[in-house]
Structures are given as C-alpha cells and as structure tokens.
Structure 1
Amino acid sequence: MNNVERHQFIINHLQQKGSVNVLELCKLLEVSSVTIRKDLKLLEGRQLLFRTHGGATLNNPYTIDRTVFEKEKIQAAEKTAIAREAASLIMANDSIIIASGTTVQAMAREIQPVGNLTVVTSALNVS
C-alpha cells in the first residue's frame, strides 16, 4: 500500500469510526507508529483531521461551533465566580471595554451601578 492509499484508508476509517488511534492503525496497515504519526501530521496539515494524544479525530473538539446559549451553560459556576471577582474591581469613574463572550457577558450582569461608569462594547449580548 502506497502513501496515497494509506492516507485514504485513514480518512475512510476516521469517517466510519469518528476517531482512530496510532496502535490500531499500525495493526490495520502493518506499518510502524512513526509512519502513522507522520501520516497523521501530514493529514492534519491539510486540515483533513485533528491530531489527539495517541490518535486523531475528524474535528477539532475545541472549535466546534456551539450556540451562545450552549456556551453559557459550560462551566457556568466558574464563569460566575470570575464575573463576580472582575465586577468587584470596577469603581466609580472607570471606563471599561467589554468584548464578546459568555464569561464577560456574565461579568456585565454582575456590574453594580456606580457613578459615572463608561462601558464600551460591540457585543449585543452585553449591551
């Protein structure tokens, strides 16, 4: 089996299973782990897969698009704790810029009314 055939096999196997590991591919393709790791690195460079510790998946689990409503629920307690601490640092006559994101959205909810506070944001969910 040549490189192109091996790469196609890896992609097909990934599409069927969702993830693969190096040892499994070594056995199936009868090649060394060094060869498989090189193949996975090359395929990742072509954005055909995402390498993980000991294998690969089709998608990068860290960039999967989620709605804002889903993201709000992820680590909600931690976001609230961060938001409260950050909001406690805001004083009268401060000017703050709030970016977009669910953590800063939580902070915006925690801001207590203080005199002459200037807030700049481009995030609709914060305004």
Structure 2
Amino acid sequence: MLARQRQELILDAVRTTGGARVSELVERLGVSDMTVRRDIEVLATRGLVTRVHGGATAAGSSVDEPGFAAKSGLHTAAKQAIAAAAAALIEPGASVALSAGTTTHAVASALLTVPRLTVVTNSLRVAEVLHESPRDDLTVVLTGGERTPSDALVGPVAVAALRQLHVDWLLMGVHGMDAEAGFTTPNLVEAETNRALVASARRVAVVADNSKWGVVGLSTIATLDEVDVVVTDAGLDEEARKILESSCGRLVLAS
C-alpha cells in the first residue's frame, strides 16, 4: 500500500469516529507503529488531523463538541458494560452526582437497580431517565443552568447550586483522557461546572470507553491523580492501562 493510500485510510478513520489510536491503525493497515506515526505527522502538518498522545483526532476536535444524538450510537456495548460496572460501585442509600453525556445516560439506567438513592445531575437526559422510574425511594436533584450541545446544564447557576451540595460519589463522563492533559472537555463552561461537580464529591469515578484515550479537549477538568476510579472497557490498550493504574486510585475494566 502506498503512503498516500494509507494516509487516506487514516484520515477516513479519524473523520468517521472523531479519532483513531496508533495501535488500531497498525492492526488495520498491517504496518509498523513508526510508519503510522509518520503518516499521522504528515496529515497533521497538512492540518487534516491533530496529533495527540497515542493517535490522532479530527482537526479542531479539541473545541468541537458533538451533540448527544451524534454520540449516542457510538460504542453502545462498551457503554452498557461500563454502566453496569459503575453502578456496582454504589452502595444502597448513597448520594450520587452524574454529569452529562451518553455514558452517564447509560449509568443512570443501571443505577435504577440500586435502592434508596439521591441523585444530583446537571444532565437533562439523565434526569429524564430517573424521573420516568416508578420508584418512590429515588430522589433526583436537577441543577439549573444554560444548555450545551450535550444537553448539560452549565454556567454560574449550575456552579452555585453544586457548591452547596456534598455527595458520596461523582460518576463523570469526559470527552477525552490523556496521560498529560488528564480528563478533558471541549467546552470551557462545562469544564467549570464539572470541576464544581468534582469538588462536591467525596469520591470521583470517570466513566469512559477506550476510544476516549488519547483524545484531548480544550479544557482540563481533572488530572489523572485527582480521580479515585476510572471505569472503562477491556478494549483499552496495555500502555493506557499501565498509565491509569499508576496514576489513578483504581482501574476497573468492564467486560
């Protein structure tokens, strides 16, 4: 395969999913790690992709925020497995905060099996799932705020509400996770609100599928060592596992 053909395939993979890891491209193209990295460098120089740790993302993806509908059909099996593993962390009678996102939306459904919960969320989608439950032992607190493309409520109203609250757990979705940048989002206002969520919680668990590794959003929510648990899927590569195991409190791989 010619270099131009490889680069076109890499670009197509990045544009289709928003990002691609070197390890995935090596397997798909049947070439060396170094060859893939050189091709990514060529595409990055042309402004077609953005180089990140372990792979490449679509050019401008550090500030582009896909809507909820665009993300809801991606990696659904992994999200369901992650949701079940995250719900298993929560004890009956706990207070739990859920951030916005398609993974936390799946977590909301999984939490319906846990008795006597109080759930705080800045996600309209999460609140909808919980409000539709017939349970009478479930309390839902929805923050106010301005709505983002991911159906999060953000801004000073949301932050002010969260500063008054204290929860046992935060289960937080992220746009990207990276060894150097930590856990990130492309939305500056959502980053501020998520930092308020982090500050409100005794324990923080990030819920994110393996495609988020190596993706870097515009703003950091938390560094790796500020998170107690990362719940992801078994597709996470070995290098990323080692980094998370050494930096975070605990790594849970959902099968």
TM-score by length of 1: 0.52
- Structure 2 unaligned segments of length 5 or more: list them: 1-10, 12-39, 51-57, 128-255
Superposed displacement of residue 115, structure 1: 3.4
Aligned-residue Cα RMSD (Å) equals: 2.2
Report the Cα distance in structure 1 between the residues aligned to 2:111 and 2:87, rounded to whole angstroms: 5
**Which among 54, 75, 84 is matched to residue 42 of structure 2?**
54
Show the counterpart of 1:76.
Answer: 76
Q: Distance in 2 between the 1:113 and 1:82 partners?
A: 15
Find the aligned partners of 1:76 and 1:113 in 2 and give their Cα distance.
20
Q: How many residues align?
A: 77
Distance 1:115 1:67 in 2: 31
Moved over 6 A (4+): none
- How big is the shift at 1:113? 4.0
Map residues 1-20 of structure 1 onto 2, 5 A cutoff: none
More strand by share: 2
Q: Which amino acid aligns with 2:123?
A: A
Distance 2:110 2:87 in 1: 6
Match of 1:31 in 2: none
| Paired residue secondary structure (1:71) | helix
Does residue 98 of the first structure (1) align with residue 98 of the second (2)?
A: yes
Q: Which runs of 5+ in 1 are unaligned?
A: 1-18, 20-51
- Whichever structure has more helix as a proportion of its residues is 1
Q: Rg larger in 1 or in 2?
A: 1
Q: Distance in 2 between matches of 1:105 and 1:69?
A: 12
Q: Does residue 109 of structure 1 match 2:109?
A: yes
Residues 68, 102 of structure 2: 8 Å contact kept? yes
Aligned mates of 2:77, 2:107 — CA distance in 1 = 12
> Partners of 2:91 and 2:108 in 1: how far apart?
14
Aligned to 1:126, the other structure's residue is in SS state helix
